[in-house]
Structure 1
Amino acid sequence: MFGLNDMTRVPLDEYRTNLKTIIEKCRGVGARVVLCTPNSVITTDSRPVEKLEQYCDVVREVAAETNTALCDTYAAYQALREQDPLAWRLLMSDEIHPNHDGHKVIAEQIAKTITGRETSLAGVAPLRLAMPHTLAKLRAGESVKVLAMPPFDQSVGEELQQIARDASVDVVPWDVDGKTVPELEQDAKSQVRALKPDLVIIAVPRGAAAASREEFVRSFAWIMNWSLSFGRQEWDVLVVHPDVVEPAEGEHDDLVRQLVAAQDLTLIDRPQDSEADASTIFRDWLRHEWPALPEVNGAVEIPAQEWPRRPGPRTVRTLIHYPGGQLANVNVQTGLMLTLHNWGGTDCVGTADPKRLADELNVVAICVNYLQSGRQASIEDPEPYDFGYLQALDALRALHFVFGRLQQAERPFHAGRIYATGGSGGGNVSLMANKLAPSTFACIIDMCGMAKLTDDIAYDLPDGSPLNARWSRDPESPNYLATDVQEIRFIGNPSHLTVMDEHGSTSRIVIVHGVDDVMCLPDDKREMVANLQAAGLTVEPHWITPDDVDGTVFTTSGHSLGDRTAIVFQVAGKYLRPDSPDVIVRPGPTNFETQDVAVHYPTTNGEYVISYEQGYPIGEFRSRRNEPDSTASAQTDTLQP
């Protein structure tokens, strides 16, 4: 997509030649090409609409001449402009640049050109958290500078100190008294980027005037634009709806909601039927600074514990699949089910299909991009592979997010029907999630997952598994594998199984493992199963031999096993289907609900403590003595909320 910049300085003939050259070079390396016309614009001196249309015509002509697919974005924008001028205007961040909603329209058009199918992104909300930068600085004990419009300049410091009590919060008031919306736009332009704050709170008063609706739209959008850092995100921006401060019916109330959403920013709005004051609404919002559940199948980013190897804020992409694809279909019988990808995978790769799980089992199926998802992070990067500990905490955070959001929405679901499955590394993470939340799951289906962090995997030793987790035996190495770190990652650790039993673990653990698996060695899994049985926990092993290979469900007795969706239904369908006489339902509260009960796993030099005080899990290693092993453990696995 080229044209908006070219039209200001590149002649039409040269523009035509450049497009053809780009197509030729792309095709020369085997790439397929889609040409896109740019979005339509508001006429300015440098970019009059009539001139832009000439450049769009060139794109169409070159596409026809070179037999190149064409996505006519300009035509789509113009069709909307003619049908609903205000809706078109609200796609624009300024005279020429689309905002978040505008880019969704472009994405829809490109997807239609590529696939031939209509799609809608109307329900796709911003994925990111509202305040990652600010929260990270607070939790790291760093000072925070806030630029805030009234009345939040009076309360934000105290509210942020509730997150980190010793935090230093410097609040700079943004004077709005008697100013118009265009004047506030100029304030934003002159002061925000010069101040370089950590957080900006925009609360344009109801009384701020604008000469027309167009002036209001333009200036309000530019207040937000000038409040953002230029380029990468360097600080956070929140927008507060006027109804929060001055409850009333206002002329521009709906416009504000549309503008903020279109800008991909977070709006703090007055909850329905709420009579709370502005400070209370802000405080309640701050305590729930997590995204909302999508209304239809979709993805969200949720906050995760810090990984000490790469300090700073971290989020986890979570893909949520509802029965029938819609949140509205969740009912009193709907359970929750993690379905976790393999080592090196992302999203829902290498595990049971979440859509089938959701539709056929009446569960909300959840895929999680836990720590080190993807080939780069899990295989090619220098850090050692986590091997289930923080990865399981990530998965549990995602599970708690869905659990908690359904509760907050007062939408009934079945908290006794919580399950997990995964293939290979996802099987390992499923087993570890059950270990770290022993009072939560009704059934686990592990498909060829790792049982423990063995020496051959940890140190890439010969005559064992070819998996390489990149740990080191050298205490001076940043990748040093301390005793405690290895012990917590042994799912069949006898002392830890005793702890699970003491916490009332009743989950049925279904193990599906090929006898010829050369990646995750069967002997390690047999040891784990034997230990589970000795501890009195419920385990059901399925050892897949060549005789079990049917070419449909099981295609090999090796690591891949076969159709991992069909495997789940074959070996555990009777435990998971809500209408089955053998359905497994866990009685009693989950770990998410017994917030005063932490799980303590003893290790050689201390203990791992999994706290549920916040509802979601926070893992921490507590050392008993200052020895190399314990120090390394603390550095590796002691994590902040």
Structure 2
Amino acid sequence: MAKEYEFVMPGHPNIYGGDQPHNLKIYFSEPDSGVNTDTGIVLFIAGFGGHANSNVYKKMRSNFADRYNLVTVQCDFFGWEFMQAEPLEESLNNFNDMGLMQVLDNITAVMAVIEILKDNEFTFNSKKIIAYGHSHGAYLSLLCNRLAPGLFSLIIDNSAWLYPAYLSADRYLFTGSDTPIVFNYFAKSNENDKGILSLPLVYKSINKFCQIHSFHGSADRLITFEEKRRFCNAIRNCYLHEITAAKVDHQIFKSNDHGLDADFLLLFDYVMTELDVKFNRGTEVIIPNHEIRTDLHSYHFDYTNKIPILTLK
């Protein structure tokens, strides 16, 4: 049985303001046999309706640690509570920003666990760090890859959109009745910089390329396959897998719509065992300080102390 841990640490200061501290809860598991030089790390990022205490994610954190020799990591990132099935009141202190705070939390979770491993004198494979996300979680995985260049070796993307649709439109959740639950997110009223949140724009300046395996349904109604193909074709080492009706096998994929109604465990296993995924070897994690400029702002990411600090100008 994998060894499971959880802890709370200060999260990145709220870049939007607010008058309350932001705390970050992190969950991680290590293989029962211990950490060795071939042990990698996988970060799970849930989409709407999922969270770190969902049964499927608890199962993945435990099972994947032993099965694939991975330290599994997940966190309760900024605003996750507002991505569930119940509308809650948001405020500047905590809301579903669908962007930078959520990304910073997920990068922080990985870096914090790395520091714990180092403090315990464990040597792991720093070239075997994976992010695995579903829908919005996959979008965050891809944005993490851009904002922490060189950290990740593999991104597994199940149905990522290229820009959060709910920053400009309401979310409608149908739960069986004729009247949907409507979410009018607080983030819609904020200034949202597409230059930093649009994957096609922010990836134009990428200079470190990790493998990306992107699975996308031909009938996806939130982002078309054609849009995803244009994005992936512009990136080195991005492999796009179109899931058509003919590829719905009712095992890994149960639909060709958004999210693919995928079995998260079987999809990960398919990537790790059936695709030609190879990892280099290394012992050091080095993320350079860097800056991204858009028409609206300059974003400086400082990794001097390993945990990311973002300064906006």
Provide TM-score, normalisation by structure 1. Answer: 0.43
The amino acid of 1:527's aligned partner reads: R
For residues 145 and 266 of structure 2, what CA distance do their matches in structure 1 show? 22
For residues 283 and 124 of structure 2, what CA distance do their matches in structure 1 show? 15
State whether residues 41 and 129 of structure 2, in contact with CA within 8 Å, keep that contact through their aligned partners in structure 1. Answer: yes
1:568 is the counterpart of 2:268: yes
Q: How does 1:574-585 map to 2 (within 5 A)?
A: 582-585=277-280
- The one-character-per-residue Cα deviations of 1:330-384 (angstroms, maximum 9, x if unpaired) are 1111111101111243215466822232122101011111111124689543456
* Structure 2 equivalent of residue 334 of structure 1: 39
Q: 1:515 aligns with which of 203, 206, 218?
A: 218
Query: Structure 1 549/395 Cα, relative in aligned 2: closer, same or farther at 3 Å?
Result: same
- The one-character-per-residue Cα deviations of 1:306-341 (angstroms, maximum 9, x if unpaired) are 2234333211111111113xxx61111111110111
* Structure 2 equivalent of residue 614 of structure 1: 305
Q: How does 1:118-197 map to 2 (within 5 A)?
A: none
1:528 is the counterpart of 2:231: yes
Provide TM-score, normalisation by structure 2. Answer: 0.84
State whether residues 78 and 105 of structure 2, in contact with CA within 8 Å, keep that contact through their aligned partners in structure 1. Answer: yes
For residues 281 and 289 of structure 2, what CA distance do their matches in structure 1 show? 19
The amino acid of 2:13's aligned partner reads: E
Q: 2:24 aligns with which of 306, 310, 316?
A: 316
State whether residues 460 and 470 of structure 1, in contact with CA within 8 Å, keep that contact through their aligned partners in structure 2. Answer: no
* Structure 2 equivalent of residue 176 of structure 1: none
- The one-character-per-residue Cα deviations of 1:278-303 (angstroms, maximum 9, x if unpaired) are xxxxxxxxxxxxxxxxx930211122
Residue 529 of structure 1, CA deviation: 1.6
For residues 550 and 366 of structure 1, what CA distance do their matches in structure 2 show? 29
1:480 is the counterpart of 2:185: no
For residues 307 and 26 of structure 2, what CA distance do their matches in structure 1 show? 15
Q: Secondary structure at the match of 1:445?
A: strand
For residues 527 and 359 of structure 1, what CA distance do their matches in structure 2 show? 37
Larger Rg over CA atoms: 1
- The one-character-per-residue Cα deviations of 1:69-101 (angstroms, maximum 9, x if unpaired) are xxxxxxxxxxxxxxxxxxxxxxxxxxxxxxxxx
Residue 523 of structure 1, CA deviation: 4.2
* Structure 1 equivalent of residue 175 of structure 2: none
Residue 385 of structure 1, CA deviation: 3.2
Gap runs ≥5 in structure 1: 1-294, 473-478, 576-580, 623-641
For residues 356 and 296 of structure 1, what CA distance do their matches in structure 2 show? 11
Q: Secondary structure at the match of 2:80?
A: coil
- The one-character-per-residue Cα deviations of 1:522-567 (angstroms, maximum 9, x if unpaired) are 34423322332xxxx2101111111111111111111232201111
- Higher strand fraction (1 or 2): 2
Query: Structure 1 607/401 Cα, relative in aligned 2: closer, same or farther at 3 Å?
Result: same
RMSD over aligned Cα, in angstroms? 2.7
Q: 1:423 aligns with which of 134, 142, 159?
A: 134
Q: Secondary structure at the match of 2:3?
A: coil
Query: Structure 1 618/297 Cα, relative in aligned 2: closer, same or farther at 3 Å?
Result: same
State whether residues 348 and 367 of structure 1, in contact with CA within 8 Å, keep that contact through their aligned partners in structure 2. Answer: no
Query: Structure 1 586/608 Cα, relative in aligned 2: closer, same or farther at 3 Å?
Result: farther
* Structure 2 equivalent of residue 506 of structure 1: 209
State whether residues 131 and 152 of structure 2, in contact with CA within 8 Å, keep that contact through their aligned partners in structure 1. Answer: yes
State whether residues 103 and 144 of structure 2, in contact with CA within 8 Å, keep that contact through their aligned partners in structure 1. Answer: yes
Query: Structure 1 399/459 Cα, relative in aligned 2: closer, same or farther at 3 Å?
Result: same
Query: Structure 1 552/584 Cα, relative in aligned 2: closer, same or farther at 3 Å?
Result: same
1:368 is the counterpart of 2:83: no
The amino acid of 2:270's aligned partner reads: Q
1:303 is the counterpart of 2:10: yes
Query: Structure 1 573/506 Cα, relative in aligned 2: closer, same or farther at 3 Å?
Result: farther
Residue 611 of structure 1, CA deviation: 0.8
Report 1 or 2 for greater relative contact order, CA contacts < 8 Å, sequence distance ≥ 6: 2
1:389 is the counterpart of 2:97: no
Q: Secondary structure at the match of 1:413?
A: coil
Query: Structure 1 310/376 Cα, relative in aligned 2: closer, same or farther at 3 Å?
Result: farther
Q: 2:241 aligns with which of 542, 553, 557?
A: 542
* Structure 2 equivalent of residue 244 of structure 1: none
- Higher helix fraction (1 or 2): 1
Query: Structure 1 461/403 Cα, relative in aligned 2: closer, same or farther at 3 Å?
Result: closer
Q: 2:143 aligns with which of 432, 440, 448?
A: 432
For residues 422 and 395 of structure 1, what CA distance do their matches in structure 2 show? 11
1:602 is the counterpart of 2:301: no
State whether residues 423 and 447 of structure 1, in contact with CA within 8 Å, keep that contact through their aligned partners in structure 2. Answer: yes
- The one-character-per-residue Cα deviations of 1:172-197 (angstroms, maximum 9, x if unpaired) are xxxxxxxxxxxxxxxxxxxxxxxxxx
The amino acid of 2:68's aligned partner reads: L
Query: Structure 1 491/348 Cα, relative in aligned 2: closer, same or farther at 3 Å?
Result: farther
The amino acid of 1:403's aligned partner reads: I
* Structure 1 equivalent of residue 176 of structure 2: none
Query: Structure 1 451/555 Cα, relative in aligned 2: closer, same or farther at 3 Å?
Result: same
For residues 609 and 567 of structure 1, what CA distance do their matches in structure 2 show? 35
* Structure 2 equivalent of residue 179 of structure 1: none
Query: Structure 1 381/467 Cα, relative in aligned 2: closer, same or farther at 3 Å?
Result: closer
The amino acid of 1:489's aligned partner reads: L
Query: Structure 1 427/379 Cα, relative in aligned 2: closer, same or farther at 3 Å?
Result: farther
For residues 588 and 331 of structure 1, what CA distance do their matches in structure 2 show? 11
Q: Secondary structure at the match of 2:249?
A: coil
Query: Structure 1 323/589 Cα, relative in aligned 2: closer, same or farther at 3 Å?
Result: closer
State whether residues 61 and 72 of structure 2, in contact with CA within 8 Å, keep that contact through their aligned partners in structure 1. Answer: yes
* Structure 2 equivalent of residue 220 of structure 1: none
1:444 is the counterpart of 2:134: no
- The one-character-per-residue Cα deviations of 1:375-402 (angstroms, maximum 9, x if unpaired) are 4689543456322321111011110111
Query: Structure 1 409/541 Cα, relative in aligned 2: closer, same or farther at 3 Å?
Result: same
Gap runs ≥5 in structure 2: 172-181
For residues 539 and 458 of structure 1, what CA distance do their matches in structure 2 show? 26
Query: Structure 1 296/446 Cα, relative in aligned 2: closer, same or farther at 3 Å?
Result: same
Q: 2:62 aligns with which of 349, 355, 377?
A: 355
For residues 564 and 468 of structure 1, what CA distance do their matches in structure 2 show? 29
Query: Structure 1 467/509 Cα, relative in aligned 2: closer, same or farther at 3 Å?
Result: farther
- The one-character-per-residue Cα deviations of 1:170-229 (angstroms, maximum 9, x if unpaired) are xxxxxxxxxxxxxxxxxxxxxxxxxxxxxxxxxxxxxxxxxxxxxxxxxxxxxxxxxxxx
